[in-house]
A and B are shown apart, each in its own frame.
Chain A
């Protein structure tokens, strides 16, 4: 709206002309000052809540740098997690103790992984099932495990020596749900000569976050530095080349597989009803002079070994083999409807007297035919069965006068034969029936 000229406003009281001029000048001055103040104030930035610690970097650059570092680290961790997960195995340690621990096993070769394991420690299940211990190095507290074959799933050992100085490392810890990766800032890394190894150990000091013992340590490139030998704010890492050498020489250096001297068979529904056990494996044979001799009996149902439940013969073998020879393990047994716990001292499977095939194996592969007996699936040439003229397809109807025998009953009866002893079998071949002597 345009203002009328002062002269055209007769209602303006006399003496106000000066005021109008003053007010207009004041208004113009105010507008000018306001615009100037607005432009001036717009040049300022509200101070950020900055860390009181002085930093020579300008605040905006510092924030940008920090954000970029964390974003970059997060991306690296996500990439490493994807790449390393198939190369690592989480295994349970000390499963018979409440709140069992977990450890990371790094796949050094396609079928062997290395885990940090103290001599007194035992292994339980892993995500890949029970992993037999192929060897242990008791000076470095490591164990070599047999893992399912995976050609492209081995870790890549770091070959170049680690330079000293601060750095970020990727640390993988064991979690019941799987491996967990996180970045850890190390204030200093040094190489440390150790008489136990040919290669120097890696000493990490001034860690931002404590390392758990046995954690796998990687560079941000994904190269495997080694396993943490001890935990805390400073740690020693057993280098990857030492672990690789241990994995490759495990069988030649040390072969320690646990054994309690029993054979087992699956718990069938009929055996389940007969024994009263709902799960477990049935003892089909107890080796004479073995650790279980006199403690376990044929027909016992093994429910657990060292606190680890077993359901199949494969489970049983793997759990027993993972026990340290010489250690005592509690075997949970169902015997005549009662649960008991039997302490058995584990022996080394390699040092156990191996029965010769001629002594304990009639050379038969059999399957059970309910209400009928045992059907022979195959016969090993030159075996006792071949000598008795048994052939694939034959059905053993009776064993020493007992109708419808089971394969394990036949095997047990054969193994318990004295030298030069023989079993009397009633065999059906097609429509023919005949009696056969299976001699030991």
Chain B
């Protein structure tokens, strides 16, 4: 019996390994703990002073992530509108489940937080709503491909909601609505400027322009204390819709810096962690209710887009990806007192990756010839 259980567990690891993401080697599972080891809680190589200098780079990384999401949202293939609605519904259900449960528990527990419980609950809901589907391969089934598209599209609503939370918490003092419109305006303006530059340049020069525009996106958003994710998403969306091949150009140029930036983001998140009693208390319900929210949201979305979204969509979306951590880091940049939230989200993301190993449907075994 025990041997059978062991075999089953090993098969799960094999499944993940077949995807190229064995649990032990998934980016979050590896680099968040590595950041903890390098950060002030560990070896102290990434001191608080260095982390302060990395703030600008983190903003650029957030803008880059937003850019990819914007391009992906605008360039989805068939059934794009139905999938966008279904994905947003799935994200809304997840946000509601997590935020509602956390808000209820915060009221019951009486955790002393420097922010209002409703703000913390909504922020955790936004972080939980993002998801990353397992990578797909050429031979993957349709359900897995659709899940990957939903995983891209279900980040749109959380980015908008996250921008609203950032605007609410921002110390700049602009109205919340303006705090949401400002990054959109920044993204569209810089995207328009970038489009003119990219169309009339090529080679290394174009690469410099792309990186410059991305740096401007992140820098402007950080300067105004608005969401760089939304600024990047607006820019990516515009580039994907304009004539020419701007989106392809940008994607090609950013591919060179994408992985280092995400790596830096995860390490910075790990190094920024502060172990606190409040963070530990938030971590467990965050993981539990995020999984529940994803499964409920997936079930709901599959009924909204029957025939398009797979019926077990939610199970594919349990893997959180880096977007949730990016949200938490963004909120931590905007306002102090987010340390318990960053801890719960980052450690929760690691735990969710491990839960995803169990929940994500296995690939069907190839039929013998």
* Contact yes or no, B315 A16, CB < 8 A: no
Q: For chain A residues 19-60, which have a beta carbon within 8 Å of chain B?
A: 19-20, 22-24, 26-27, 30-31, 33-34, 37-38, 41-42, 44-47, 49
Q: Closest approach, in angstroms, between the C-beta of A21 and any C-beta of chain B? A: 9
A11 at the interface (CB under 8 A from B): yes
Whether the Cβ atoms of B292 and A19 lie closer than 8 Å is no
Q: How far is the CA of A16 from the CA of B313 in the complex (A)?
A: 12
Docked-complex contact B299 and A38, CB < 8 angstroms: no
A33 cross-chain contacts in B, Cβ below 8 A = 288, 292
Least CB distance from B120 to A in Å reads: 13
User: Contacts of A26 on B, CB cut-off 8 Å?
Assistant: 295, 312, 315, 359
Closest residue of A by beta carbon distance from B108: A42
User: CB within 8 A of B307: which of A12, A22, A24, A30?
Assistant: A12
Known: A13-B142, A23-B299. A41 touches B310 (CB 8 A): no
Binary interface encoding of chain A residues 181-217 relative to chain B, with 1 for a CB under 8 A from any of its CBs, else 0: 0000000000000000000000000000000000000
Report which residue of B284, B295, B303 has the largest number of chain A beta carbons within 10 angstroms of its beta carbon.
B295
Contact of B311 among A23, A30, A34, A47 (CB under 8 A): A23
Interface residue stretch chosen among B23-31, B44-52, B109-117, B230-238: B109-117
Q: A37 CA to B288 CA in the complex, in Å?
A: 8
Contacts of B359 in A (CB 8 A): 26
Q: Is the pair B307, A11 in contact by a Cβ cutoff of 8 Å?
A: yes
Partner of B277, one of A4, A15, A47: A47
Interface residue? B296 (CB, 8 A):
yes
In the complex, residue of chain B having the shortest beta-carbon distance to the beta carbon of A1? B303
In the assembled complex, A431 has its CB within 8 A of some CB on chain B: no
Of B110, B313, B364, the contact of A45 (CB 8 Å cutoff): B110
A2 to chain B minimum Cβ distance, whole angstroms, is 8
Say yes or no: A38-B311 contact (C-beta < 8 A), given A1-B303, A44-B109: no
> Which residue of chain A lies nearest to B304 when distances are taken between CB atoms in the complex?
A1
Cα–Cα distance between A16 and B316 once the two chains are bound (Å): 14
Chain B residues lying within 8 Å of A47, measured Cβ to Cβ, are 277
Closest-CB distance, B87 to chain A (whole angstroms): 16
A32: nearest chain-B partner, CB-CB: B292
Interface flag for A245 (CB, 8 Å)? no
Chain A contributes a number of interface residues (CB within 8 A of B) equal to: 30
A9 on interface, CB distance cutoff 8 Å:
yes
Q: Which residues of the other chain, B, contact A295 by a CB distance below 8 angstroms? A: none
Residues of B within 8 A of A22 (CB): 312, 361
List the A side residues contacting B105 at CB < 8 Å: 38, 41-42
B257-286 with Cβ < 8 A to chain A: 277-278, 281, 284-285
Q: Contacts A11-B307, A20-B312; is A34 near B299 (CB within 8 Å)?
A: no
Give Cα A7–Cα B310 distance, bound, in whole angstroms: 16
Within the complex, what minimum Cβ distance (angstroms) separates A369 from chain B? 77
In whole angstroms, what is the CA distance A49 to B104 when docked?
22
Measured between alpha carbons, how far is A128 from B112 in the docked complex, in Å? 53
Q: Are A4 and B306 in contact (CB under 8 A)?
A: yes
Q: How far is the CA of A161 from the CA of B233 in the complex (A)?
A: 82
Closest chain-B Cβ to A43's Cβ sits at a distance in Å of: 8
A1 to B302 CA separation, bound complex (whole angstroms): 11
Contacts of B313 in A (CB 8 A): 23
Residues of B bordering A, CB below 8 Å: 97, 101, 104-105, 108-112, 142-143, 277-278, 281, 284-285, 288-289, 291-292, 295-296, 298-300, 303-304, 306-307, 310-315, 359, 361, 364
Extra A-B contacts (11), CB below 8 Å, given A23-B298, A46-B112: A2-B303, A11-B306, A12-B307, A16-B310, A19-B311, A34-B288, A37-B288, A38-B105, A38-B285, A42-B104, A47-B277
- The 21 listed contacts between A and B (C-beta, < 8 Å) are A1-B300, A1-B303, A1-B304, A3-B306, A12-B307, A13-B143, A16-B311, A19-B312, A23-B298, A23-B315, A26-B315, A30-B295, A31-B296, A34-B292, A38-B101, A38-B105, A41-B108, A45-B108, A46-B110, A46-B281, A49-B112
